[in-house]
Structure 1
Amino acid sequence: MENVTGPCDDGDEVVGHRSQNDVFVTTGEMDPVKNESTSAPLAKDIPTERKTRVKRERRKMLRKKSSVIDHSPASEGSAASKQGFAVAESESSQKKMKRKLRDCGARVDSEEEEEKKKKKQKGSQRPNYFVSIPITNAQISAAVVEVQEAVLQQEPRLVKAMIPAPTLHMTLLVTHLASQEQVSLAATALGKAVPSLAELLVGRDLVLPFSGVGHFRKEVVFVGLAPGQHRDTLEKLAEVLWRCFEEQGLLHGECRGFEPHLTIMKLSKAPKLRSQGLKRVNPDLFSSYTDRFFGDQRVDRLDLCSMLKKKQEDGYYHTESSLQLGGHQRQEPSEAELQRVSKRLVEDAVNRALNQYKQETLQNGGGPNTAAVPPPENTKQSTAKLDTSANSTTDSRK
């Protein structure tokens, strides 16, 4: 048999015995009020006694909780003290929440400020000067204009993306010059490159043959440089310039890969085209010029140009300094060079005539168009004119 102790309704304890049959029996005690002894419950009242015992245990736990509240700084044992304790607790939690939100907001503000500073610094270091080889061969400029006009006939919205013919150039390096002092240092760096360039060229002319039209990610359209030894020489020339500018503290980081090209249109010049749905240049617009020969450009000088200053009267970029390459007068082209240029021009003329014939045939439903291909006499005359025009190559800036 097991002794069992439990509280009564009035707070006193009752001692009883639990038998193996789980029958709860209480020992008799005198009731101080009624002066009567309590008797043991009957077997039929056992479930009721269990419920009573559970209720007593719950009341005991409530008393413990109330005692904790009564010992708080608020008024003792009243409902107001309990309510005040709850309000105080809620206020402290609200203060903690506000503090967290305030700290979080401060972190967000600081992050936004740092991001703005980074963008400002990045914008302040944006390139504003470049060293270039100007395109002075009128034949190349005319061929570029022809390609641009052909593209605009198919997509007029690209008109603002075109590079004006007077500004055509090949970029060798770009940099950011924050003051006139740095501009002077850049001009000095350009002059210090003379001995290295003279050793590189060894008195020979650097001639760049431009051929074919390509693109970078369908955003920049350019005229490419034909393969040959001149590409290696041009890359070494760019490395010399990079090293001279780096020694003056005008360049930082490593020399990135140099890809020689002549830009003729780029979408970044017309940012509104993106909102109009024109995000890429369709290569089909210039597919007929992928093998076109544009002409040879003799590298006579290097220019230090500003991207932001007002352009010169001839339409070219504002030039801070120039470095002349070669001290002799330009010689007349050799017979072999004239034949090579004439052959390429004739091939280009024939290819254009064939392409025009194909287009006219498709437009007329398969029937040939007499206007598509000129008569043989006219073809010979045009070929003769092209041959003679190769001898009159001009230099617009020399």
Structure 2
Amino acid sequence: MISKEKMLRKALIPLEKMHLTVIVANLKNEEMIQRAADALKQCKNQLDTILLGRLPQMTFHGIDQFNNKVVYIKMTEEEHPILCQMAETVKTTFEEMGVDITGSKDFKPHLTVLKLSKAPALRHRRIRTILYEEYEDVMFGTQTLTRIDLCSMRKKQASGHYHCESSILWDPCGGSVVESALSASVTVPCVAEEAESTPDVLGRSPCAEQESAHDSPLRPTAENQDPPAVEKTREGENLDSEMSADEKTDAASVEEPHSVPDKIKNDKTP
């Protein structure tokens, strides 16, 4: 996609931050972070019972988009039932322990690889199918789920990974639960990502039609013209300008691992 549209480079999700979002929590202070960490640990016996010693093998095949704003790699459906059961267990446990997860959405297994909201200059653009259509039937790989992490959206690490507050880890050889202070590989967000608040709980594993030359895929609309500097460049020909009512409000008042999907890590935005 970047070879077709260099402007998209700034919207890419770094490999080390790719993940599967399980839940998003609003943790306003250290006490709430500790409560969330305790809730995650409280889940482990129930999750072990669900797994029965067999760790999910997540297979990533094909690519798609949400609302022309987010590009993601799809997961095949074989492991959806067990992953959804695990996500529901985490959600219920966090709620029972009084952790605020009102920012969470329904769990839909997918691996986000690009968000226009990451790049201010692209925030009001749309992604065209021509950018990713060649990957719509590509097999990206299979990854074993070996951990669930409670991660912070704000705290940074030199490695680029999310800062991990707490984790549940499984031995990929035996499937048993082990304790570890290492940084996360499977994560479940616990804070609204758009607001980039505090910790998240994330999940990841360690180990269109062709437009004519006169109908460019990237074009500003009459209502939302880009600054001249952007209009003059040929970059962005596969993006469309667009601004919704919600985005106008935001603008006025003012978002997997080391190999694609041999890697993986709840985002308010998928």
Shorter chain as normaliser: what TM range? 0.5 to 0.7
The match for 1:172 is 22
Q: How does 1:88-99 map to 2 (within 5 A)?
A: none
Shift of the alpha carbon at 1:322?
A: 1.0
Once the two structures are aligned, what percentage of the paired residues are identical?
37
The match for 1:291 is 137
2:42 matches 1:197: no
Q: Among 156, 162, 168, which residue is 1:317 paired with?
A: 162
TM-score by length of 1: 0.43
Letter in 1 for 2:127: V
The match for 1:154 is 4
Query: 1:395 and 1:173 mapped to 2: Cα distance?
Result: 19
Q: 1:255 to 1:267 in 2, by over 3 A?
A: closer
Query: 1:395 and 1:209 mapped to 2: Cα distance?
Result: 10
Could you tell me whether the CA contact under 8 Å between 2:55 and 2:172 is conserved in 1? no
The match for 1:236 is 85
2:66 matches 1:221: no
2:93 matches 1:248: no
Could you tell me whether the CA contact under 8 Å between 1:220 and 1:266 is conserved in 2? yes
| Cα deviation code 1:50-75 (max 9, x no counterpart) | xxxxxxxxxxxxxxxxxxxxxxxxxx
Indicate the SS of the match to 1:153: coil
Indicate the SS of the match to 1:203: coil
Q: How does 1:56-67 map to 2 (within 5 A)?
A: none
Q: 1:394 to 1:156 in 2, by over 3 A?
A: closer
> Matched residue pairs, number?
180
More helix by share: 1
Query: 2:8 and 2:104 mapped to 1: Cα distance?
Result: 32
Shift of the alpha carbon at 1:323?
A: 0.6
TM-score by length of 2: 0.62
Letter in 2 for 1:164: P
| Cα deviation code 1:93-139 (max 9, x no counterpart) | xxxxxxxxxxxxxxxxxxxxxxxxxxxxxxxxxxxxxxxxxxxxxxx
Shift of the alpha carbon at 1:205?
A: 1.5
2:31 matches 1:181: yes
Could you tell me whether the CA contact under 8 Å between 2:146 and 2:172 is conserved in 1? no
2:129 matches 1:280: no
Query: 1:307 and 1:254 mapped to 2: Cα distance?
Result: 14
Could you tell me whether the CA contact under 8 Å between 2:60 and 2:140 is conserved in 1? yes
Query: 2:101 and 2:148 mapped to 1: Cα distance?
Result: 21
Shift of the alpha carbon at 1:255?
A: 6.8
Could you tell me whether the CA contact under 8 Å between 1:301 and 1:322 is conserved in 2? yes
Shift of the alpha carbon at 1:189?
A: 0.4
Q: 1:163 to 1:395 in 2, by over 3 A?
A: closer
Shift of the alpha carbon at 1:157?
A: 1.1
Indicate the SS of the match to 1:154: coil
Find runs of 4+ consecutive structure 1 residues off by over 6 angstroms.
393-396
Q: 1:395 to 1:297 in 2, by over 3 A?
A: closer
Higher-RCO chain (CA-CA 8 Å, sequence separation at least 6) = 2
Indicate the SS of the match to 2:143: strand
Query: 2:137 and 2:96 mapped to 1: Cα distance?
Result: 40
Query: 2:263 and 2:131 mapped to 1: Cα distance?
Result: 30
Shift of the alpha carbon at 1:254?
A: 9.9
Letter in 2 for 1:205: L
Indicate the SS of the match to 2:142: strand
Query: 2:143 and 2:159 mapped to 1: Cα distance?
Result: 19
Could you tell me whether the CA contact under 8 Å between 2:25 and 2:102 is conserved in 1? no
Query: 1:209 and 1:234 mapped to 2: Cα distance?
Result: 12
Q: Return 168-177 or 320-329, whichever deviates more.
A: 320-329
Query: 2:27 and 2:105 mapped to 1: Cα distance?
Result: 19
Gaps of 5+ in 1: 1-150, 331-392
Gaps of 5+ in 2: 176-260, 265-270
Letter in 1 for 2:41: G
Shift of the alpha carbon at 1:329?
A: 5.9
Indicate the SS of the match to 1:186: helix
| Cα deviation code 1:27-48 (max 9, x no counterpart) | xxxxxxxxxxxxxxxxxxxxxx
Could you tell me whether the CA contact under 8 Å between 1:207 and 1:296 is conserved in 2? yes
Q: 1:328 to 1:188 in 2, by over 3 A?
A: same
Q: 1:241 to 1:224 in 2, by over 3 A?
A: same
